[in-house]
């Protein structure tokens, strides 16, 4: 029995060292002390201590360990692990890792998260939002854009150009605005709440396009020529990457260029003959300068010895002979400018390559680096802006619209989808802010950009469906008073573009995250193929034994945190958010452990086990979303009135994480699932979905004028201008709530229960009873007009509807 206690003591010391991540030497010394004590007090012989020393010493003497343990293992590793291709290397090296690496570490530093600077707008950026952005939002008649013009009005196009909307990323020395990523996000959120066409038109030139590529890679001559013209709106840019044969697999583009000599403006110059067939290119129908990605060949070796140079990016004026643009796609009735472009052996000078001929073949790296930034801003911001406006509009409508003699928002069946909209609006804004803050700090977060692109557009689509369900007939009848239907139609576009969501989830998030975020996998791979044998062995030894310690630590942490429900783990606050930090500690250890086991059991096959990869990616993604929520709550002063939104967002994301983890364990390779389930979930799954009570609290915030609701809609365009139906409804919402005590007073004086409708007639009754004043009469009449506008839907004369459809089609074809 005493022997068993000593063995248990030894195991506890080793497990504690692993949990606390002591160094190998420190843990060895602590274990040696236990063995020495056992030898002296229990056995009376140095044998246990000697056995331990003989076993532990080789692992602590690095020269011995490298020669007799790491060296043979390195040989085996190199035989089974193929060297990364140049394309894979470029994709891995293109971005940076940031907070997502902490989440992958098994022990996130919450101090690091909360020490990230609070995002703030400059005075200039705030003035732009309050001035030009507010102005252009008021210029948009979404019904006119969608049903009559099939495009933004020309005066809106000109306003965008004149006020620098296409120049937010361009540096001031070239005439641009040079706004922060956070400011760009706020601009796009506000625009997206009014019109998806407007947000897309502004977002794309400020994302992956000529402006971004020129600033990073352009020659001084290219920058001086194009950037001032782009900043002034004299050039409209687009970037053509996607081909019929290459969508999400952008690296397989068949479009090509051949280096050759040819005539240009009357002279023979070194150039390229380009052949391409691109589609889905935003702004292509109206672009004046075309960014083009293609594979460049040099069969005559005019540039050097290499024949297949690889993916290259060039800038081509669309008025060059042979460039075909102008035709439009018709993406789900969303009228932003999007279409194909083609060219067949179009000759252009070699200097048209972005960065000059020296950058021939460097296009893939350029694209991946820029996409890691742009993909983290545009689509996630558009998604968040749309849902923030939908959240307050749905809350207002649910309070205005009555059935069964009460606002529909008081029905529990309505509260459930309302809570999903409100909770997600809070989450999406917080995640956007965290992501753009990272970009402004200089990060190029390729993994995070994939996470936010997938999850925020996915949540946006689901929220729009919920909003449609709540609005019912109001949502499905298109017309000037419908603020939801076009967003519902357009939602799948965001799901599809910049990497289809299915493939982003199953291949990109974890495919890049596992290598980039894991503290040892990439160093192991780099060390293994280091051409210097001594350096290779030294680095490989450090990485491998660091990896082994990391895996043991995460096993110990997963088991202990599962056993205790993570109740004793680190959390920066002791309020109601404490449990979310602690569950994140637990799930971070689980992710790190399962990643090592998946990579160990599947090896290179993990790439092809996409559902395993997708679920591991879900763990990382949902933890990042919760981080955005907790960071937002902290940055805004930990306001307790916002707690229902925080709790709903955290519990929803953690429950989704748990569901993916549960499915992963059910399908884990080599039958390890039941064993891992015992380690990770010894007492069952710990996280529950948001409760009905929490749903009710969130729905109540959405239907009540309050500071929490104002923060939910922060920065959105809710001014009640002529064409801003959501803004008009917001004013009606405020008016109707102001009418409620007046209505109650009239009922009390009249001695009867009067329905809360036909408020103009109720006001007349109040006049008769002499219980309301003139201002209250005007308020009730105005509120009734707004109420009817809110609950009624549009209808059309059949001939008018036919003419409207024909007009839209003609405008579309003419464009």
Question: Long-range contacts: 765-770, Cβ < 8 Å, 24+?
Answer: 766/742
Radius of gyration (C-alpha) of the chain in whole angstroms: 31
User: Tokens standing for 737?
Assistant: 């709530």
DSSP, collapsed to helix, strand or coil, labels residue 574 as: coil
Question: Long-range contacts: 247-254, Cβ < 8 Å, 24+?
Answer: 247/500, 248/499, 248/500, 248/503, 248/504, 250/293, 250/367, 251/87, 251/311, 251/364, 253/293, 253/294, 253/295, 253/311, 254/295
Nearest to 66 by CA among 611, 443, 545: 545
User: Tokens standing for 554?
Assistant: 């995460």
* CB 100 within 8 Å of CB 566: no
Is residue 289 exposed (0-12), middle (13-18) or buried (19+ Cβ within 10 Å)? buried
* CB 484 within 8 Å of CB 467: yes
DSSP, collapsed to helix, strand or coil, labels residue 337 as: coil
Separation of alpha carbons 374 and 55, rounded Å: 53
Q: Which residues lie across from 313 on neighbouring strands? A: 293
Neighbours of 578 (CB within 10 A): 14
Separation of alpha carbons 767 and 763, rounded Å: 6
Nearest to 278 by CA among 308, 315, 238, 218: 238
Separation of alpha carbons 434 and 268, rounded Å: 52
Alpha helices in 248-300 (DSSP H): none
Helix (H) or strand (E) holding 777, with range, is helix 774-791
* CA distances (Å), origin 437, targets 104, 376, 441, 631: 20, 11, 6, 11
Separation of alpha carbons 712 and 728, rounded Å: 18
Let me know how long the chain is. Answer: 815
The DSSP bridge pattern shows strands 402-403 and 289-297 to be unpaired
Separation of alpha carbons 188 and 193, rounded Å: 9
* CB 705 within 8 Å of CB 630: no
Separation of alpha carbons 701 and 422, rounded Å: 8
Nearest to 193 by CA among 716, 773, 748, 737: 716
* CA distances (Å), origin 465, targets 190, 248, 381, 411, 468: 21, 26, 19, 18, 5
Helix (H) or strand (E) holding 161, with range, is helix 154-162
* CA distances (Å), origin 656, targets 362, 473, 529, 589, 636: 39, 31, 39, 17, 26
Alpha helices in 401-411 (DSSP H): none
Separation of alpha carbons 392 and 385, rounded Å: 11
- Residues designated as active site: 498
* CB 666 within 8 Å of CB 621: no
């Amino acid at each position: 029995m005493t022997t068993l206690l000593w063995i248990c003591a030894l195991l506890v010391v080793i497990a504690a060292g692993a949990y606390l991540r002591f160094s190998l030497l420190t843990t060895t010394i602590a274990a040696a002390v236990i063995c020495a004590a056992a030898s002296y007090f229990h056995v009376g012989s140095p044998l246990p201590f000697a056995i331990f020393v003989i076993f532990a010493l080789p692992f602590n003497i690095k020269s011995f360990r490298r020669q007799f343990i790491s060296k043979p293992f390195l040989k085996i590793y190199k035989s089974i692990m193929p060297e990364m291709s140049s394309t894979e290397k470029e994709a891995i090296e293109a971005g940076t890792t940031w907070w997502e690496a902490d989440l992958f570490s098994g022990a996130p530093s919450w101090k690091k998260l909360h020490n990230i600077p609070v995002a703030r707008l400059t005075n200039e950026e705030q003035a732009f939002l309050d001035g030009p952005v507010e102005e252009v939002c008021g210029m948009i008649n979404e019904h006119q854009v969608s049903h009559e013009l099939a495009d933004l009005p020309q005066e809106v196009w000109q306003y965008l150009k004149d006020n620098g909307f296409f120049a937010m990323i361009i540096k001031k020395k070239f005439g641009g605005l040079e706004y922060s990523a956070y400011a760009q996000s706020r601009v796009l959120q506000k625009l997206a709440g009014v019109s998806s066409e407007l947000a897309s038109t502004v977002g794309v030139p400020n994302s992956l396009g000529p402006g971004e590529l020129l600033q990073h890679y352009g020659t001084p001559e290219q920058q001086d020529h194009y950037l001032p013209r782009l900043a002034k709106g004299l050039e409209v840019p687009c970037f053509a990457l996607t081909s019929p044969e290459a969508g999400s697999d952008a690296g397989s583009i068949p479009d090509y260029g051949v280096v050759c000599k040819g005539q240009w403006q009357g002279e023979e110059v070194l150039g390229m003959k380009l052949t391409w067939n691109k589609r889905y290119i935003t702004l292509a129908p109206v672009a004046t300068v075309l960014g083009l990605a293609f594979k460049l060949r040099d069969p005559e070796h005019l540039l050097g010895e290499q024949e297949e140079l690889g993916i290259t990016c060039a800038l081509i004026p669309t008025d060059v002979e042979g460039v075909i643009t102008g035709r439009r796609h018709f993406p789900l009735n969303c009228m932003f400018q999007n279409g194909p472009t083609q060219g067949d052996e179009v000759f252009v000078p070699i200097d048209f390559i972005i960065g000059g001929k020296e950058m021939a073949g460097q296009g893939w790296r350029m694209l991946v680096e820029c996409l890691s930034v742009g993909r983290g801003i545009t689509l996630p911001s558009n998604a968040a802006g749309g849902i923030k406006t939908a959240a307050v509009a749905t809350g207002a409508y649910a309070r205005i619209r009555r059935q069964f003699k009460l606002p529909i928002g008081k029905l529990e069946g309505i509260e459930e989808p309302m809570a999903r909209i409100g909770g997600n609006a809070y989450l999406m804004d917080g995640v956007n802010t965290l992501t753009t803050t990272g970009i402004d700090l200089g990060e190029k977060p390729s993994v995070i950009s994939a996470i936010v692109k997938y999850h925020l557009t996915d949540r946006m689509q689901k929220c729009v469906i919920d909003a449609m369900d709540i609005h019912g007939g109001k949502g499905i009848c298109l017309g000037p008073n419908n603020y939801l239907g076009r967003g519902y139609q357009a939602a799948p576009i965001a799901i599809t573009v910049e990497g289809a969501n299915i493939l982003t989830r199953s291949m990109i998030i974890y495919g890049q995250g596992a290598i980039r975020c894991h503290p040892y996998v990439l160093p192991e791979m780099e060390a293994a193929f280091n051409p210097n044998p001594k350096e290779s062995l030294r680095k490989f030894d450090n990485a491998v034994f660091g990896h082994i310690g990391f895996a043991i630590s995460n096993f110990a942490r997963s088991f202990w945190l599962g056993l205790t429900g993570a109740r004793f783990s680190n959390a920066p606050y002791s309020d109601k958010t404490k449990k979310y930090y602690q569950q994140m500690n637990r799930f971070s250890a689980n992710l790190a452990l399962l990643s090592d086991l998946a990579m160990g059991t599947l090896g290179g096959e993990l790439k092809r086990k996409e559902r395993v990869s997708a679920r591991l990616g879900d763990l990382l993604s949902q933890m990042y979303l919760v981080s955005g929520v907790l960071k937002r709550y902290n940055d805004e002063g930990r306001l307790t009135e916002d707690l229902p939104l925080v709790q709903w967002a955290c519990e929803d994301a953690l429950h989704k994480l748990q569901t993916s983890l549960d499915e992963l364990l059910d399908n884990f390779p080599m039958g390890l699932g039941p064993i891992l389930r015992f380690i990770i979930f010894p007492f069952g799954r710990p996280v529950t979905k948001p409760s009905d009570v929490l749903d009710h609290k969130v729905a109540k915030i959405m239907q009540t004028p309050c500071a929490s609701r104002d923060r939910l809609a922060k920065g959105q365009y809710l001014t009640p201008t002529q064409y801003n139906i959501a803004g008009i409804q917001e004013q009606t919402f405020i008016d109707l709530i102001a009418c409620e005590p007046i209505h109650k007073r009239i009922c009390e004086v009249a001695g009867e229960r009067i329905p809360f409708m036909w408020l103009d007639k109720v006001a007349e009754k109040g006049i008769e009873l002499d219980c309301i004043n003139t201002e209250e009469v005007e308020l009730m009449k105005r509120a009734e007009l707004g109420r009817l506008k809110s609950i009624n839907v549009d209808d059309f004369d059949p001939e008018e509807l036919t003419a409207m459809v024909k007009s839209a089609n003609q405008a579309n074809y003419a464009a």
